[in-house]
Amino acid sequence: MTSPRDAKPAWAAPGPALRIDALGKKCPLPIIMLAQRIGEIPIGTVVEVLADDPATKTDVPAWCGLKSHEFLGAADLATTSGWAYRVRRSY
């Protein structure tokens, strides 16, 4: 059993600083939400976008390329169809 003292401090886990739920939203809305909210997190931290529009598979990395943020990758969502994208704010 893990005691609270053994638990890793929050800063050690590279979890997202912000999660954006764009499930059910069609492109370009998930990208607009990402663009509008990435400024809320500190530079160097990570935002996670949840989306199920297949166009986001291309458009999230393409947006990162155009806007020079770092695209960290995508993972299938476990509980619903869709993807979780992670982006590190670069500036």
Q: Does 66 bind another protein (CB under 8 A)?
A: yes
Neighbour count for residue 59 (Cβ, 10 Å): 19
d(CA 42, CA 75): 23
Under rule CB under 8 A, which residues in 14-53 are in contact with another protein? Answer: 25-29, 31-33, 35-36, 53
Smallest gap from Cβ 65 to another protein, in A, equals 7
Q: Which is nearer to another protein, 16 or 61 (CB)?
A: 61
Q: Which residue shows structure tokens 């160097």?
A: 44
Radius of gyration of the chain (CA): 14
Smallest gap from Cβ 12 to another protein, in A, equals 33
Q: Which residues are catalytic?
A: 27
